[in-house]
């Protein structure tokens, strides 16, 4: 599923994890809003999530993930797998057009409606139209700098915003 119109980036580096999202909301080729908040904390602020895709669909998924986190006592991996199974098999959820990245102290996961629960090898995940640019920049910064996770997120998102027309410089970063 190709989701356009945003950039979400998670970086796990030097014992910290940061998740960033830009603030642009586009409708077709028109920018509708510049400072949307696509990054959200769940489960007593122990899990940070970011979405790409349809906003209403993403909020539905946030609610479902929060329910699963409650059900499985904050176990992000288990909650994510159970959400992915439900997302893939439920007649209503299957039609949702969004992707999520969810991080906690142990895991960085990408969740999709196709049933994917992906944990990146190098601790970097990105979704949205600017995702490949942000991911490439973050990989280079992790390899060739001494920056921390939050700074890498900010720098990589700034690079993506300079390349992707669906990404802006109104960046929100949450860290764990």
CATH assignment at residue 92? 3.60.20.10
6 is catalytic: yes
Residue 117 bridge partners (DSSP):
111
**Residue 12 · residue 149 · CB < 8 Å:** yes
Predicted TM-score of the model (pTM): 0.94
For 72, the 3-state DSSP assignment is coil
39 pLDDT band, cuts 50/70/90, is very high
Question: How far apart (Å, rounded) are the C-alpha atoms in residues 14 and 125?
Answer: 16
**Residue 167 · residue 23 · CB < 8 Å:** no
> Of 6, 7, 49, 167, which one is the catalytic site residue?
6
- Tell whether the torsion through CA atoms of 139, 40, 103 and 115 is positive or negative: negative
113 pLDDT band, cuts 50/70/90, is confident
- Supply the range of the domain harboring residue 24: 8-172
Question: How many domains does the structure of the chain reveal?
Answer: 1
Question: Within its chain, how far is the Cα of 8 from the centroid?
Answer: 5
Residue 4: pLDDT above 80? no
- Which pLDDT score, from 0 to 100, does residue 3 have? 52
**Would residue 52 count as lying in a domain?**
yes
Per-residue pLDDT, averaged over 146-153, amounts to 98
Both structure tokens of 98 = 């969004």
**Would residue 2 count as lying in a domain?**
no
Strand pairing class (16-21; 25-27): unpaired
Residue 157: pLDDT above 70? yes
139 pLDDT band, cuts 50/70/90, is very high
45 pLDDT band, cuts 50/70/90, is very high
**Would residue 3 count as lying in a domain?**
no
**Would residue 37 count as lying in a domain?**
yes
**Residue 1 · residue 97 · CB < 8 Å:** yes
**Residue 153 · residue 20 · CB < 8 Å:** yes
**Residue % of the chain over a pLDDT of 90:** 74
**Would residue 54 count as lying in a domain?**
yes
Q: If you count them, how many residues does the chain have?
A: 176
Per-residue pLDDT, averaged over 159-170, amounts to 96
**Would residue 1 count as lying in a domain?**
no
**Residue 20 · residue 155 · CB < 8 Å:** no
Residue 2: pLDDT above 70? no
- Nearest alpha carbon to residue 48 among 161, 150, 152: 150
**Would residue 114 count as lying in a domain?**
yes
**Would residue 48 count as lying in a domain?**
yes
Residue 175: pLDDT above 70? yes
90 pLDDT band, cuts 50/70/90, is confident
Question: How far apart (Å, rounded) are the C-alpha atoms in residues 87 and 6?
Answer: 22
Residue 55: pLDDT above 90? no
Q: Counting beta carbons within 10 angstroms of the beta carbon of residue 170, is it exposed (0 to 12), middle (13 to 18) or buried (19 or more)?
A: middle
């Amino acid at each position: 599923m190709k989701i356009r119109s945003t950039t979400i980036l998670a970086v796990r580096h030097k014992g910290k994890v940061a998740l960033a999202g830009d603030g642009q909301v586009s409708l077709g080729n028109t920018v509708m809003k510049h400072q949307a908040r696509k990054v959200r904390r769940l489960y007593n602020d122990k899990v940070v999530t970011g979405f790409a895709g349809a906003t209403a669909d993403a909020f539905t998924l946030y609610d479902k993930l929060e329910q699963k986190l409650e059900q499985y006592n904050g176990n992000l991996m288990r909650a994510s797998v159970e959400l992915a199974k439900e997302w893939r098999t439920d007649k209503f959820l299957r039609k949702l057009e969004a992707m999520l990245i969810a991080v906690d102290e142990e895991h960085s996961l990408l969740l999709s409606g196709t049933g994917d629960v992906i944990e990146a090898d190098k601790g970097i995940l990105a979704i949205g139209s600017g995702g490949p640019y942000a991911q490439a920049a973050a990989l280079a910064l992790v390899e060739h700098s001494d920056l921390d996770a939050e700074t890498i997120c900010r720098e990589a998102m700034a690079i993506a915003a300079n390349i992707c027309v669906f990404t802006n410089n109104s960046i929100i970063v949450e860290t764990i």
